Amino acid sequence: MGQKRIDLRSDTVTKPSEAMRQAMAHADVGDDVYGEDPTINRLEAEAAKRLGKEAGLFVPSGTMANQVAILAHTERGDEMFIHRDSHAYYYEGGAAALWAGAMLTLLDGEEGLFTADALREAVRPANIHHPRPRLVSLENTHNRAGGAALGVERMDPVMAVAHELGLMVHIDGARLFNAAVALATPASRLVREADSVSICLSKGLGAPVGSVLVGNRAFIDRARTYRKWLGGGMRQAGVLAAAGLLALDNADRLQEDHQRADRLRNGLREMGYDAWEPSVPTNMVMIETPGLAEPLVKAALERGLAFGTMGARRIRLVTHLDVDDEDIARALEIFQELRSQYRAG
Ligand code: TLP
């Protein structure tokens, strides 16, 4: 009999629990394009409430949530400021240029966040030669920064400068609840100063599908139109929202994923692996492996452990609902076996 594969590629790989499947099977549904799906309406209201915003919009994916937000905040040719490692720039296939016709100005900074001063310097005065500066897009936790959770002392000053300069702020909060748990700060507080926020139900929270975009009602009304234009107006999708409602309750257990990631990180460091230590870590572990990321992925997979790369020189391990303590112990054993193939950078 083959061993169970331990899958640390992403927290997107979880399978819906029995309770979720039951909730999906029995969900009260209607046609959401007519606004008549009671389960979707409940999910949208619940997400908005938890994040302290007026209204919510259920969308199929985190990518659509971000792109609909960019569309609803901007006009064609408007300038959006974003960190060069952010998902909405790095992993969304140029969609902001394709759909919104936005001009992206890329900024640098520690752990996926530029400073308020860097933003102030980048925003140019109104002038016929410049695009209209319109939107700042932030991300929390920050994926390519190793899942770093960013506290209000770092996020709020950036948002304050954005608003002072007349810009809107969107937060890609695909893993916002991970940040909330790690920072012991309510999610609503983390995003208090933001104009819109997207959260993913299908990552650490364990739903099979879905994200919610929240903001004020006028913004969500515009976003609803763009969702329809992109083909994201679903019908009896309450079967998905039912899983999403249960997923929101999983926010309380994310600490377990963080503890397992800590155990993994500490074990790897003890073995001599160059594993990052974000200032506030969550459910990810990044290992620097110059030139060896692909061979390590292959060797681990042969031993029943799956993880992904982030470029040629970095491995990413992500803990989630479907990973337990035994899996972490086994993963560490496998890394011990791979030690001879590894060279730190
Ligand atoms: N991230 C995926 C991959 O696309 C990299 C992953 O495995 O981490 N925002 C952030 C911060 C994300 O990490 C992701 C997915 C998204 C948005 C997009 O969500 P989906 O995959 O639902 O479109």
- The per-residue pLDDT for range 21-30, each reduced to its tens digit, is 999 999 999 9
Quote the pLDDT of residue 340: 83
Closest C-alpha to ligand 1, atom 3: 91
143 in contact with ligand 1, CB cutoff 6 A: yes
pLDDT at 290 over 90: no
When pLDDT is cut at 50, 70 and 90, the band that residue 341 belongs to is: confident
Question: 317-326 pLDDT, tens per residue?
Answer: 999 999 999 9
Cβ 201 vs Cβ 211: under 8 Å: yes
Choice between 345 and 70, residue whose per-residue pLDDT is larger = 70
> How much is the average pLDDT of 223-240?
98
Q: For a ligand 1 pocket test, name from 7, 59, 63 the mutation site with the most ligand atoms within 8 angstroms of its C-beta.
A: 63
CA nearest ligand 1 atom 20, residue = 62
Residue 67 Cβ inside 6 Å of ligand 1? The answer reads no
User: Is 197 close to ligand 1, i.e. is its CB under 6 Å away?
Assistant: no
User: Do residues 339 and 271 make contact, with C-beta atoms less than 8 angstroms apart?
Assistant: yes
User: What are the structural domain ranges in the chain?
Assistant: 6-13+253-344, 18-250
The CATH code of the domain at 6-13+253-344 is: 3.90.1150.10
* Average pLDDT in the chain: 96
Q: Does domain 18-250 have CATH number 3.50.30.60?
A: no
pLDDT at residue number 251: 95
> For position 344, what pLDDT does the model report?
53
Q: What pLDDT is attached to residue 2?
A: 56
Is pLDDT of 113 > 50? yes
Q: How confident is the model at residue 343, as a pLDDT?
A: 63
**Position in ligand 1 atom list of the atom nearest CA 61:** 22
Say if residue 308's pLDDT is above 60: yes
Looking at residues 262-270, what average pLDDT do you find? Answer: 97
Residue 38 has pLDDT above 90, yes or no: yes
Query: Quick one: pLDDT band at residue 1, thresholds 50, 70, 90?
Result: very low
How far away, in angstroms, is 97 Cα from ligand 1 center? 18
pLDDT tens figures, 81-104: 999 999 999 999 999 999 999 999
pLDDT digits (tens, 9 = 90+) for 6-25: 999 999 999 999 999 999 99
Would you say residue 314 has pLDDT above 50?
Answer: yes
For the Cβ of 139 lying below 6 angstroms from any atom of ligand 1, the answer is yes
| Residue 63 CB less than 6 A away from ligand 1 | yes
Give the whole-number percent of the chain exceeding pLDDT 90: 94
Alpha-carbon gap, residue 332 to 117, rounded angstroms: 42
Q: Is 174 in the pocket of ligand 1 (CB under 6 A)?
A: yes
- Say how many Å lie between the CA of residue 128 and the centre of ligand 1: 36
pLDDT-based confidence at residue 191 (cuts at 50, 70, 90): very high
> Can you give the pLDDT at residue 119?
98
Q: Compute how many other C-beta atoms are within 10 angstroms of the C-beta atom of residue 54.
A: 14
Task: Report pLDDT for 115.
Answer: 98
Report the nearest atom of ligand 1 relative to the CA of 175: 11
**Per-residue pLDDT reduced to its tens digit, 135-149:** 999 999 999 999 999
